[in-house]
Chains A and B, each alone.
Chain A
Amino acid sequence: MKKSTNAAYYIPYGFWLIFFVIAPVVLIIYQSFFDINGHFTLSNYQTYFSSGTYILMTVNSVWYAFVITFFTLLVSYPTAYFLHYTKHKQLWLLLIILPTWINLLLKAYAFIGIFSQDGGINSFLGLFGIPAQQILFTDFSFIFVAAYIEIPFMILPIFNSVEELNEGLVNASRDLGASSWQTFRQVIVPMTMSGVKAGVQAVFIPSLSLFMITRLIGGNRVITLGTAIEEHFLTTMNWGMGSTIGVVLIVAMFIIMFLTGERNHHRKEARHEN
């Protein structure tokens, strides 16, 4: 009896899982085997892996996602680390989380205002007699805005892992003669790696399929897989091809999850070498 009531608690989420996770994925995979005229075919995959355009787009997407993740990490790790030692960390954390409550589109438009020819930055530069620069629609603005949006998602897991770190381990390392830098490298970084991995997952995967920012901030100069999917579904109406790219993205996600996941056995073997 008790078992059945327990099972009942899973029903709402079970429906969610079926209708909004499993069904769409199955549909995308199904769609990817049909061409634009509704005939069953493998040609979508063939096109994808033989066409230079798609390969280039994939490489591009991965590269931009990598750069975005890299800069996000560069900002987030020290932030999360020092946040741990600040006095009012809950308040600071709230300020970091706050921007995520604002709609992405609003933030993107705000940046258009800041970066545009007569925007905030250019009028500031104008004060020093520097002529207006093209900031919007550049790689810089695209990566800057993407990193800005992703930073809270990177800070949170890293912050949690720093919080979980036993202060005694830091003391122990110092006690054994390690300087603060050695302690940081040998103890703090490895011990917070799980947070970094979680952060990388949370940033890299969504970055692969960014499309709105590529358009609004990147000015369509940056074409990623996300942009391509949008084009296929809304403009060229080639749903099959769009789904194929979607499948590729899903597979890529699993690869990233696998690469950044916890694998104790591999770790053990790797360490024995040094």
Chain B
Amino acid sequence: MSEVIVELKHVNKMYGQTVVLKDINIEIEQGKFYTLLGPSGSGKTTILRAIAGFLDVTEGDVLFEGKRINDVPANERKVNTVFQDYALFPHMNVFDNVAYGLRIRKVKKDDIKNRVEAALKMVRLTGYDSREISELSGGQQQRVAIARAIVLEPQVLLLDEPLSALDAKLRKDMQYELRELQQRLGITFLFVTHDQEEALALSDEIFVMNDGKVQQSGTPVDIYDEPINHFVADFIGESNIIAGHMIGDYRVEFNGKEFDSVDAGMKPNEPVEVVLRPEDLDITPVGEGKVTVEVDTQLFRGDYYEIVAYDRLGNEWLVHSTNPAKDGETVDLTFDAEDIHVMRLNESEEDFDARLESYEGDE
């Protein structure tokens, strides 16, 4: 099952002096939902375009089913793309848009009709065949774009921020539909987004990108719970990042106090950063917790309260709580040893994985 279908090996891309991709190594396996997640300008769309064949990489190999496809033109690659702006042909109606690729492939007329109908049914647009593109809403155009790509039954579907133009509600709906579609078709999806919630919700595996590099790859849970560095911790979800020191294995010092932790394999006294997720912090009366803070402001977010508080050293603490707090109130925050995630400075992904393995194996 876990057959590698697309692979990028030591891929670099430069525009003049500007480096947009730095030594990218990615393996995409058959049938999974992958996400390239990163802020704009991180190089995620560039990777997609390199796989689709819209740009040449400066160095390195792009492999499809083990064969180098750097020099294969876009129209001969067995991948299809759903574009950010959909790129539907405005001079054709829905049916002709979806049938475009099939007509190019000289598929028989009856087959075209059946396959287009099936694809439209899959994206729940049955009966929209003769609509003009300009008559469709954003969400419907989005579905036509997906139908146009999946009708060709590609092995890999590339999706370039396909939901970014939709409003919040529709976006949520489409997330479910995309995930369902991917599981039903068993096609490999490579999805590009800057929305971390979307990435966490949809993906089997996420590549977090910044600055032309893959910062960390792994399942959503891995990346959320064990961010490798400051960037990932900050970009994925909300987090409190505090500078500290590793005292020894399973002991960490920050905020002037020592705490038990579950991290090990670092040098004694090594400077580290500590991540505490806001939802892992609990509010208790003064004297019962681990850090004393004063509540500054709070926002009601619907399903939780987002509370901003400051400790005596002036560090900001972000807390997600189901119960409201009072502005100006002094409270304690408490957390468990497992909630403390320690990050080394400038640790590479390989070293990170190796270190985790070394002490997790001990237990």
- Chain A residues in the interface with B (C-beta under 8 A): 166, 168-169, 171-179, 182, 186-187, 190-191, 268, 271-272
Q: Are A174 and B96 in contact (CB under 8 A)?
A: no
Q: Which residues of B contact A191 (CB under 8 A)?
A: 89-91
Q: Are B83 and A176 in contact (CB under 8 A)?
A: no
Q: Are B81 and A172 in contact (CB under 8 A)?
A: yes
Q: Are B75 and A175 in contact (CB under 8 A)?
A: yes
A268 CA / B105 CA spacing, docked (Å): 24
Q: Are A176 and B52 in contact (CB under 8 A)?
A: no
Q: Are A176 and B54 in contact (CB under 8 A)?
A: no
Given known contacts A166-B87, A169-B89, A186-B100, is B132 in contact with A176 (CB within 8 Å)? no
Q: Which residues of A contact B130 (CB under 8 A)?
A: 272
Give chain B nearest CB distance to A164 CB in angstroms. Answer: 11
Q: Which residues of A contact B79 (CB under 8 A)?
A: 175
A191 CA / B133 CA spacing, docked (Å): 14
In the complex formed, the residue of B with least CB distance to A179 is B75
A160 CA / B73 CA spacing, docked (Å): 28
Q: Are B91 and A190 in contact (CB under 8 A)?
A: yes
Q: Are A187 and B73 in contact (CB under 8 A)?
A: no
Contact of A168 among B76, B87, B91, B96 (CB under 8 A): B87
Q: Are A174 and B89 in contact (CB under 8 A)?
A: no
Query: Is B80 located at the chain interface by the 8 A CB criterion?
Result: yes
A217 CA / B8 CA spacing, docked (Å): 64
Q: Are B81 and A175 in contact (CB under 8 A)?
A: yes
Interface CB pairs A-B, < 8 A, 22: A166-B87, A168-B85, A169-B89, A171-B52, A171-B74, A174-B74, A174-B75, A175-B81, A176-B75, A176-B149, A177-B76, A177-B101, A177-B105, A178-B75, A178-B104, A179-B75, A187-B89, A191-B89, A191-B90, A271-B92, A271-B93, A272-B130
Q: Are B101 and A171 in contact (CB under 8 A)?
A: no
Q: Which residues of A contact B52 (CB under 8 A)?
A: 171, 175
In the complex formed, the residue of B with least CB distance to A169 is B87
A173 CA / B80 CA spacing, docked (Å): 10
A218 CA / B53 CA spacing, docked (Å): 53
Query: Is B320 located at the chain interface by the 8 A CB criterion?
Result: no
Q: Which residues of B contact A174 (CB under 8 A)?
A: 53-54, 73-75
In the complex formed, the residue of B with least CB distance to A186 is B100
Query: Is B152 located at the chain interface by the 8 A CB criterion?
Result: yes
Give chain B nearest CB distance to A1 CB in angstroms. Answer: 38
Q: Which residues of A contact B75 (CB under 8 A)?
A: 174-179
Query: Is B148 located at the chain interface by the 8 A CB criterion?
Result: yes
Q: Which residues of A contact B54 (CB under 8 A)?
A: 171, 174-175
Give chain A nearest CB distance to B346 CB in angstroms. Answer: 38
Q: Are B83 and A168 in contact (CB under 8 A)?
A: yes
Give chain B nearest CB distance to A18 CB in angstroms. Answer: 38
Q: Are A173 and B100 in contact (CB under 8 A)?
A: yes
Q: Which residues of A contact B149 (CB under 8 A)?
A: 175-176
Give chain A nearest CB distance to B160 CB in angstroms. Answer: 10
Q: Which residues of A contact B53 (CB under 8 A)?
A: 174-175
In the complex formed, the residue of B with least CB distance to A182 is B104
Chain B interface extent, by class? 20 to 34
In the complex formed, the residue of B with least CB distance to A171 is B54
A187 CA / B96 CA spacing, docked (Å): 12
Q: Are B91 and A176 in contact (CB under 8 A)?
A: no
Give chain B nearest CB distance to A110 CB in angstroms. Answer: 42
Q: Are A171 and B100 in contact (CB under 8 A)?
A: no
Give chain A nearest CB distance to B113 CB in angstroms. Answer: 13
In the complex formed, the residue of A with least CB distance to B96 is A271
Q: Are B96 and A176 in contact (CB under 8 A)?
A: no
Give chain A nearest CB distance to B314 CB in angstroms. Answer: 49
The winner among B76, B88, B89 for most chain A CB atoms within 10 A is B89
Q: Which residues of B contact A169 (CB under 8 A)?
A: 87, 89
The winner among A171, A177, A182, A271 for most chain B CB atoms within 10 A is A177
In the complex formed, the residue of A with least CB distance to B78 is A177
Q: Which residues of A contact B93 (CB under 8 A)?
A: 268, 271
A186 CA / B100 CA spacing, docked (Å): 9
Q: Which 3 interchain pairs have the tightest Cβ spacing?
A: A176-B101, A172-B87, A168-B87
Give chain A nearest CB distance to B174 CB in angstroms. Answer: 19
Q: Are B83 and A177 in contact (CB under 8 A)?
A: no
A177 CA / B73 CA spacing, docked (Å): 9
**Which residues of chain B (60-111) have a CB below 8 Å from chain A?**
73-76, 79-81, 83, 85, 87-93, 96, 100-101, 104-105
Given known contacts A171-B74, A174-B73, A176-B148, is B104 in contact with A268 (CB within 8 Å)? no
A177 CA / B80 CA spacing, docked (Å): 9
Q: Which residues of B contact A179 (CB under 8 A)?
A: 75
Q: Are B73 and A176 in contact (CB under 8 A)?
A: no
A74 CA / B264 CA spacing, docked (Å): 74
Q: Which residues of A contact B89 (CB under 8 A)?
A: 169, 172-173, 187, 191
A255 CA / B89 CA spacing, docked (Å): 30
Q: Which residues of B contact A166 (CB under 8 A)?
A: 85, 87
Give chain B nearest CB distance to A99 CB in angstroms. Answer: 33
Q: Are A176 and B85 in contact (CB under 8 A)?
A: no
Q: Which residues of B contact A177 (CB under 8 A)?
A: 75-76, 101, 104-105, 152
Q: Which residues of B contact A190 (CB under 8 A)?
A: 91
Q: Are A171 and B87 in contact (CB under 8 A)?
A: yes
Contact with A along B118-150 (1 / 0, CB 8 A): 000000000000101000000000000000110
In the complex formed, the residue of A with least CB distance to B98 is A176
A182 CA / B74 CA spacing, docked (Å): 13
Q: Which residues of A contact B74 (CB under 8 A)?
A: 171, 174-175
In the complex formed, the residue of B with least CB distance to A183 is B75
Q: Which residues of B contact A268 (CB under 8 A)?
A: 93, 132
In the complex formed, the residue of A with least CB distance to B54 is A171
A250 CA / B48 CA spacing, docked (Å): 55
Given known contacts A169-B87, A187-B89, A190-B91, is B80 in contact with A175 (CB within 8 Å)? yes
